[in-house]
């Protein structure tokens, strides 16, 4: 398999790659564990008038991991929150330029996030959590995984947008115009 195929091609027939399936399964399993921990803790509080502090802490940690990995999945699939009010009204050349500038800004923010998460991990990796006695670096490492993954996706998107011909932006604008109920004559 050549490098270009490995970096830019999606799974065949629009399906999910093995990596995406594993990530989604991990997220689903983490959510299952989170719900189980909260349920067990609620039952213990109701029936025995005492909770299980480890379950509270672990469910919080799982929530953070699910949030970070869910952000990666949303960014990968292009389902993150975005405002395209300006970009849908632009002609193809300016649309390409603004799209590339936007990706560069996102990349800069992700690199800042990566730097901050590395500093946080360095500070937290020796500290033990009060209830479960696990290193809190496990929690802060979710930020590292999220920022590295999203940085990789952003770089891939940036290269794709640079290589994308102007005619594809023109076709995209026509589709946007039709979706808004306009005629694609501009």
pLDDT given at position 182:
59
Consecutive 10-residue averages of pLDDT for the chain (186 residues): 48 69 93 94 90 90 96 91 81 91 96 97 92 91 96 96 88 74 53
What DSSP state is assigned to residue 30? H
pLDDT given at position 137:
93
User: 3-state DSSP call for residue 128?
Assistant: strand
Whole-structure pTM over 0.75, yes or no? yes
Diameter over CA atoms, the chain: 70
Distance between CA 62 and CA 41 in Å, rounded?
Answer: 15
pLDDT given at position 80:
81
Phi and psi (nearest 5°) for 128? -95, 140
pLDDT given at position 91:
87
Task: For residue 158, give Cα distances in angstroms to 23, 105, 140, 170.
Answer: 23, 11, 27, 18
Reported as a single tens digit per residue, the pLDDT across 117-134 is 999 999 988 999 998 899
């Amino acid at each position: 398999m050549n490098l270009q195929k490995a970096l830019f091609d999606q799974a065949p027939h629009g399906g999910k790659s093995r990596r995406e399936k594993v990530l989604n399964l991990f997220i689903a399993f983490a959510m299952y564990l989170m719900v189980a921990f909260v349920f067990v803790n609620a039952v213990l509080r109701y029936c025995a008038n005492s909770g299980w502090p480890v379950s509270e802490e672990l469910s919080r940690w799982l929530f953070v991991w699910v949030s970070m990995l869910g952000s990666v999945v949303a960014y990968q699939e292009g389902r993150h929150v975005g405002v395209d009010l300006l970009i849908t009204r632009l002609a193809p050349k300016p649309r390409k330029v603004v799209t590339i500038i936007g990706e560069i800004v996102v990349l800069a923010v992700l690199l800042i996030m990566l730097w901050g998460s590395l500093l946080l991990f360095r500070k937290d990796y020796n500290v033990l959590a009060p209830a479960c006695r696990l290193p809190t670096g496990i929690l802060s490492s979710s930020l590292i995984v999220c920022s590295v993954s999203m940085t990789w996706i952003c770089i891939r998107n940036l290269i794709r947008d640079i290589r994308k011909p102007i005619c594809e932006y023109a076709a995209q604008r026509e589709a946007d115009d039709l979706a808004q109920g306009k005629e694609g004559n501009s």
